[in-house]
């Protein structure tokens, strides 16, 4: 005799999965988790790559500034060296341009 019971399709599918399909359900969940982790890792990698590029640009700008400061230091160092040699070896003195009296040594 055939019963007139009504079963809902989602209930039948769920019951079959619980009874006979535990491994496929676990594999499906594992695939979903793995896919989400891949997407998250790719996103973080892109963010870190962009941050690294920004840091490289900043490093390059600082390197250029450092080179310019070294050049400036060398230029100023050369001037002070010339001034020191002039005062020590040939006894030159600074002249104040605002002074009206000029002293001439014979």
Structure confidence by residue, pLDDT tens digits, 44-95: 999 999 999 999 999 999 999 999 999 988 877 777 777 778 888 887 777 7
Give the per-residue pLDDT at 39.
98
Q: How far, in Å, CA of 28 to CA of 86, rounded?
A: 86
Give the per-residue pLDDT at 1.
44
Torsion sign over Cα 65, 66, 69, 74: negative
Helix (H, G, I), strand (E, B) or coil at 44: helix
Give the per-residue pLDDT at 17.
82
What percent of the chain is modeled with pLDDT above 90?
A: 42
| pTM assigned to the model | 0.51
């Amino acid at each position: 005799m055939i019963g007139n019971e009504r079963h809902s399709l989602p209930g039948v599918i769920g019951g079959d999965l619980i009874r006979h399909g535990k491994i496929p359900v676990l594999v499906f969940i594992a695939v979903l988790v793995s896919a989400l982790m891949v997407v998250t890792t790719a996103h973080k990698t892109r963010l870190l790559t962009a941050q690294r590029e920004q840091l490289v640009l900043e490093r390059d700008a600082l390197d250029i500034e450092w080179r310019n400061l070294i050049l400036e230091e060398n230029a100023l160092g050369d001037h002070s060296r010339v001034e020191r040699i002039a005062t020590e070896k040939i006894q030159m003195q600074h002249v104040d341009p605002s002074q009206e009296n000029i002293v001439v040594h014979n």
